Amino acid sequence: MSSLSESLESAVKKHKRILVVIKGSPDPDAIASAFAFKAVSEFLGAETDLISLKNLSLPQNREFVRLLDIPVSFDRDEVDIRDYDAYAVLDNQSASVERITGKIPCVVHIDHHEPFEEDITADFKYINQDAGSTSSMMALLIRDLKPILDPDTMKKIATALVYGIQTDTDKYSYATKIDYDALRYISAYYDSGIINRISEIPLSETTIRLLNEAIHNQTEYKGWLVSGIGFLDSSARDSIPIIADFLLKRGEQNTVVVFGVVEDHDKKKMMLDASFRSTEEHLNLDDIIKEITPEGGGRKYKGAFQINLDFFSYCPERVLLWDIVKLTAIERIKNRRDGLYITELKGVYKRLRKSLRDFFSS
């Protein structure tokens, strides 16, 4: 057993009841890695519940959860933490969770995004940017831990992890050695029929309509494509990253930014939501986005940010409101494109510092 899986084991064994919080949009990588962690921690003797702060959005993600019978409760922003001794966060840059952090300890933080500077300590903190997905990291931990799971559970977990790896690496186009190592191990257990069923689900009508909107409203600026798609209901939120993926694949520009205003009418909630996609390996999307707002971040090829607009949900002039949001967002994104030279230098410096560190520590 490797020292990593040993430290995971000793961290989990310190607690009886663990709450796993899926913080961002509940995508297949986040759901699969949380699901795998639940099985591992239950094998190690801890009861574990999975909650997602947000609701599922895409039809294929709903089908993914349904077919694999993944026990996550969605759209939960209230939870009684007296029921838990510790919490865990997977597939998110930050281990901070409102109303939970500071009250119970963070037992596990596993992620593959750019590390985020914060003072939250976790008993087991494992951040690896060389992995294309958190699912791969979980798969390799399971390989080393060798938990005894019943074959049906193992099959579900392996299937979920394969799908998590597949979606986060854009069907393996960004897969790294770690992802392939993980696939080599779990592919012996997964159910390819379920993956095929999920992959066959077509885009929803709403996504197609918004895609059309995006194509007609695109602006090109110094090799970047920027497009605003207007207002959309929170149930269609994940259309934004899908449209960004789609526009990038058309291959006209190396970087794409798609944004829209996501609304939840019942709760009077409104959010500017943007997705970044790039084919440039050295474009530091995390730096680019963090300078727009700390409520966002990225990794190689992908990034996103959100800006709360709740106050503006009272605005009676929707056309005007959208124009203001659109103009401001485009202006800000253009500014960041102009400031790119500086960001790129910072990226070079970071990489230089890391390679010097690796050199001296080896």
* Nearer to Mn ion among residue 91 and residue 263 (C-beta): 91
Helical axes 134-145 vs 177-186, angle rounded to 10°: 50
Range list of β-strands (E), the chain: 17-22, 47-52, 72-73, 86-90, 106-111, 122-127, 218-221, 224-233, 255-264, 269-278, 296-299, 302-308
| Single residue of 29, 49, 273, 287 touching Mn ion by CB under 5 A | 29
Whether 64 contacts 160, CB under 8 Å:
yes
Closest CA to 244 of 221, 274, 204: 274
Please choose, out of 24-32, 46-54, 194-202, 232-240, the segment that lies near Mn ion by the rule CB under 5 A.
Answer: 24-32
Whether 259 contacts 272, CB under 8 Å:
yes
Q: Is 179 in the site for Mn ion (CB under 5 A)?
A: no
Whether 289 contacts 298, CB under 8 Å:
yes
Report the nearest approach of Mn ion to the CB of residue 168 (Å): 4
Please choose, out of 6-14, 21-29, 47-55, 170-178, the segment that lies near Mn ion by the rule CB under 5 A.
Answer: 21-29
| Single residue of 91, 273, 286, 287 touching Mn ion by CB under 5 A | 91
5: phi then psi, degrees, rounded to nearest 5? -70, -30
Report the nearest approach of Mn ion to the CB of residue 89 (Å): 12
Report the nearest approach of Mn ion to the CB of residue 29 (Å): 4
Please choose, out of 6-14, 128-136, 217-225, 250-258, the segment that lies near Mn ion by the rule CB under 5 A.
Answer: 128-136
| Single residue of 9, 49, 168, 287 touching Mn ion by CB under 5 A | 168
* Nearer to Mn ion among residue 127 and residue 309 (C-beta): 127
Whether 137 contacts 112, CB under 8 Å:
yes
* Nearer to Mn ion among residue 134 and residue 166 (C-beta): 134
Q: Is 238 in the site for Mn ion (CB under 5 A)?
A: no
Which residue type is seen at 109? H
Report the nearest approach of Mn ion to the CB of residue 199 (Å): 18
- Size of interface with Mn ion, in residues (CB under 5 A): 4
C-alpha pair distances (Å), 194 with each of 110, 154, 200, 235: 26, 14, 10, 24
Query: Which residue ranges make up the site for Mn ion (CB under 5 A)?
Result: 29, 91, 134, 168
